[in-house]
Structure 1
């Protein structure tokens, strides 16, 4: 039976410096290839960021990116995109910058580009330098509706205590959107019904796998839907408290100690 191993990135696969053990992971991919198994990333990060991080290894991996806004079968030229309904952007911006809570910054992503919303805090200088490498055409706009191309996601960054308030306010407005959080004050807004699980379901259908063939690793509430889809689930020791008590396996070591890689080696 072919198995598909799926991992979230931040605080799961990547360490606190957003790095990973490249030689160890490469050796695991070699073993998976020999066994006929497969590997996928399912991340809130968009595909450009993931490609920049994983380099040549990315062509050996299925990709579910932007929390499900885009997905790609490994080695394929076809990127499947699930865009936000543009009619919801004006109201969404009003919610994100309302006086109800403090908003640190708002960024928007298309399949290829990144946009900052003006009038809010900008990314730290070191992060701006990195993002400029990933998104050479990064731009600042006065309003989300000024962006001429379709958007795959919009991200609001808040003090962590306000992220759930922002999600609740978006939900209360009954917009054709899905809001989720990967923690740490970040709220990702996607098209209605888009999450990691719905795109992962389409991906496994294309490669002739079933949900019971999935083993997933994650740490946040934006991973919950794909955990509910999968046959086997591992959560990180640093996971959102709401993921514990669901009968999921707990990885022995955190992401700073290659917890996912060690678990994969034990499984194999």
Structure 2
């Protein structure tokens, strides 16, 4: 089997973030022919593949298409975990936490929100059309409600998404954290094209906890895991893995949390590493 470049253990699980990591920035695609070839070599070597993302499971399944039955999921920042078509865990946000988020949204309407539920996502009709289009790219199961307090948007809430001008990201995160008072966590999920993204997530739920569910399901140890990420919500996962790769486009804090740095996503950094681990 391929050897973990940090621990020397066999690589039994590769897990990657999507946006800014595995997928091309600003799109939902990757080099499919190239990946299919190395994916086949990984599978033959006994290595599993998982996607850990803040995006919804619907989006991941649409992106990976026919490969989906062999791709495990730790989506919605680890709140939804699936392997082999079976849900292994769905972590639902507590009502009190959801109430605090909705109150913060009402007090700060300049900070847009999208509610992510187990079976869909919701925005308000007054939301900026560009914001809605962006959130729909990550959900593929978007609906509209007059208010995020609508019962339909309160059914099995997993997390919330937001997007603000990049210069407003730090302030918006600080405002939300203060308003939530620890009832939910707020994590930076990256910047792109002048916009900053953050997620409001359940306390104690992260990509790392989602990946742990998969590891326990398959009997895989951290030393046997290779992970890739580019943003603040990837840090715990990178620290969990025996070899955590920060993308070349990641900021300094993410690089500091990683063991290694690979080429940026625009240069297909993840695929480059996989092809080194599983050469033709």
Q: TM-score, normalised by structure 1?
A: 0.88
> Contact (CA 8 Å) 1:102, 1:162: kept in 2 or not?
no
Q: Are 1:91 and 2:100 matched, yes or no?
A: yes
Q: Which residue of 1 aligns with 2:82?
A: 72
Instruction: Look up the match of 1:109.
Output: 116
Q: Which of 194, 198, 202 is 1:191 aligned to?
A: 202
Q: What is the CA distance between 1:247 and its match in structure 2? A: 5.9
Corresponding residue to 1:169 among 155, 169, 175: 175
Q: CA shift at 1:129, angstroms?
A: 7.7
Deviation per CA, 1:184-235, whole angstroms, max 9, x where unpaired? Answer: 2222112221110011112101110011111111111100001111111111
Distance 2:214 2:138 in 1: 28
Deviation at residue 51 of structure 1 after TM alignment: 0.7
Q: Does 1:179 pair with 2:186?
A: yes
| Cα 1:15–1:82 shift into 2, 3 Å | same
SS at 1:141 equivalent: coil
* CA RMSD in angstroms, aligned pairs only: 2.3
TM superposition shift of 1:243: 1.9
Q: Distance in 2 between matches of 1:49 and 1:10?
A: 12
Name the stretch that deviates more: 151-160 or 204-213: 151-160
Report what 2:68 is aligned to.
58
Would the aligned equivalents of 1:44 and 1:66 in 2 still touch at CA under 8 Å? yes
Q: Structure 2: how far apart are the matches of 1:53 and 1:183?
A: 20
CA distance in 2, matches of 1:108, 1:115: 5
Q: 1:121-132, aligned counterparts within 5 Å?
A: 121-123=128-130
**What does residue 3 of structure 1 align with?**
12
Q: Does the 8 A contact of 2:114 with 2:135 survive in 1?
A: no
- TM-superposed CA distance for 1:77, in Å, is 2.3
Where in structure 2 are there 5+ consecutive unaligned residues?
A: 1-9
> Which stretch of structure 1 is more off in the superposition, 193-202 or 164-173?
164-173
Correspondence 1:224-235 to 2 at 5 A? 224-235=235-246
What is the aligned length?
262
Corresponding residue for 1:265?
Answer: 275
Greater shift, 32-41 or 144-153, is seen at 144-153
Whether the 8 Å CA contact 1:154–1:189 is kept in 2: the answer is yes
